[in-house]
Amino acid sequence: MTALHRYLLSLAEDLRDLDLGGEIPALARLSGARPNQLGIAVCDLDGEVTAAGTAHAFPIQSISKAFAYGAALDLHGLDYVREAVDEEPSGEEFNAISLDAVTRRPKNPLVNIGAIRTHAMLGATQSERTERLLDTLDAAAGRPLAMHEATYDAELRTADRNLALAHMLRAAGSMQEDAREVVDGYIRGCCVLVTVSDLAVMAATLAHGGVNPLTGRRVFSQGASRQVLSVMLTCGMYDNAGDWVTDVGLPAKSGVAGGIIAALPTRFGIATYAPKLDRHGNSVRGSVAFETLSEEFELHMLSGRPPEDLEDRAARLLDSDGVQAQGPTKDLALDQADAATDAPQES
């Protein structure tokens, strides 16, 4: 067992049962979310994934927005996409009406109204748009991903606000595509099932300039990957983006199912999963895990110095804390063994 694996196991054990507040949304419970679930994974640019905690599969939710944005950039080019969707932080909740009164553009592609407009760019028909998004998510994860039908059905039944945002885009002359069809495809992308290891690979794909480190496949151009990471840095954590940049200092994107991805360009991708959310819609314990990793491994990209090798740093941290190579605790081992039971079944 590597030092990094031992460190992640220790961190997951420390954080998993802490009562840090937060709530699990009703939609997340449809896919089997439980209060004590916690997963952490790191993927380096050689494609090596180191993971600890639960292997429970959960809907990707808004993390899919970053990958839809990358697909739109490579399909149309940056100038075209910028004409439709801006790159500015909104300072508002993820589902806010974030449409500029003058330009009639959504503030950025990582809030709902911006993501709906971005999805509309992915093809001429509903099937083409959905297929392109799902293919992009599969390519970034390095494997075929299933969709959680129960979550899709529930989200579609309660899609009034997203439909209102889509109709607002049409009313403003900012989108011509059918509102219901675009929202349907956008929701399908949000309901794709991933594990924390999948998310680490997807984050590493962005850190690797758009190349999946597991498969060697180019998912995005280098320019599109850079643009996605740039917008993730300033907008990926919604109205908590400023605190995130200060405390963690990595481009990141969260989802309301409890996942967070972050990437350190040219180095690795990191992901966490813990379903209790704070008032911003970000995972409570996932955020604490990232703050801890950023501080202890000195990952802040604005620190002015390159981070140490993860394995070397983990070994030094374990030595300083007196942590021995013991392997998973009983509870964590059971959590992994029960992953098949936890994983949602397609209806």
- Note whether 181 and 126 are within 8 A (CB): yes
**Count of the separate structural domains present in the chain:** 2
3 state SS for the chain: CCHHHHHHHHHHHHHHCCCCCCECCHHHHCCCCCCCCCEEEEEECCCCEEEEECCCCEECHHHHHHHHHHHHHHHHCHHHHHHHCCCCCCCCCCCCCCECCCCCCECCCCCHHHHHHHHHCCCCCHHHHHHHHHHHHHHHHCCCCCECHHHHHHHHHCCHHHHHHHHHHHHCCCCCCCHHHHHHHHHHHHCEEECHHHHHHHHHHHHCCCECCCCCCECCCHHHHHHHHHHHHHHCCHHHHHHHHHHCCCCEEECCCCEEEEEECCCEEEEEECCCECCCCCEHHHHHHHHHHHHHHCCCCCCCCCCCCHHHHHHHHHHHHCCCCCCCCHHHHHHHHCHHHHCCCCC
> Which residue carries 């990957």 as its tokens?
225
> 77: alpha, beta or left, given left = phi > 0 and alpha = psi -120 to 50?
left
Examine the domain organization and report whether 325 and 207 are in the same domain. yes
In a domain? residue 347: no
In a domain? residue 161: yes
Which pLDDT belongs to residue 334? 31
**Token representation of residue 21:** 């507040």
d(CA 202, CA 49): 11
Q: What is the pLDDT of residues 230-260, one digit of tens each?
A: 999 999 998 888 999 999 999 999 999 999 9
d(CA 307, CA 304): 10
| Whether the predicted pLDDT of 323 surpasses 80 | no
d(CA 347, CA 345): 6
- The distance of Cα 199 from the centroid of its chain, to the nearest Å, equals 7
239 versus 153: the higher-pLDDT residue is 153
Range of the domain at 26: 3-58+195-226+236-342
Examine the domain organization and report whether 213 and 297 are in the same domain. yes
Report which of 51, 54, 58 is spatially closest to residue 36, judged by C-alpha positions. Answer: 54
Report which of 127, 128, 101, 125 is spatially closest to residue 176, judged by C-alpha positions. Answer: 125
pLDDT band at 145 (very low <50, low <70, confident <90, very high): very high
Examine the domain organization and report whether 208 and 324 are in the same domain. yes
Examine the domain organization and report whether 151 and 211 are in the same domain. no
Which pLDDT belongs to residue 321? 66
In a domain? residue 46: yes
Examine the domain organization and report whether 185 and 199 are in the same domain. no
> Best-predicted range by mean pLDDT among 88-102, 155-169, 311-325?
155-169
pLDDT band at 344 (very low <50, low <70, confident <90, very high): very low
In a domain? residue 307: yes
Measured between alpha carbons, how far is residue 62 from residues 44, 81, 285, 313, 346 in Å?
A: 23, 19, 18, 32, 20
In a domain? residue 174: yes
Examine the domain organization and report whether 160 and 67 are in the same domain. yes
Examine the domain organization and report whether 199 and 54 are in the same domain. yes
Neighbours of 243 (CB within 10 A): 14
Which pLDDT belongs to residue 90? 80
Q: Among 163, 190, 217, where does a domain finish?
A: 190
Picking from 225-234, 271-280, 314-323, 327-336, which range would have the lowest pLDDT averaged per residue? 327-336
Measured between alpha carbons, how far is residue 135 from residues 146, 150, 316 in Å?
A: 11, 21, 41
Neighbours of 127 (CB within 10 A): 11
Examine the domain organization and report whether 74 and 12 are in the same domain. no
Torsion of CA 287, 293, 298, 300, to 10 degrees: -30
Here the CATH number for the domain that contains residue 124 is 3.40.710.10
| Whether the predicted pLDDT of 136 surpasses 70 | yes
Examine the domain organization and report whether 50 and 78 are in the same domain. no
In a domain? residue 295: yes
Examine the domain organization and report whether 186 and 200 are in the same domain. no
In a domain? residue 231: no
**Token representation of residue 334:** 């059971």
Examine the domain organization and report whether 178 and 77 are in the same domain. yes
pLDDT (mean) for 182-192: 98
Examine the domain organization and report whether 176 and 214 are in the same domain. no
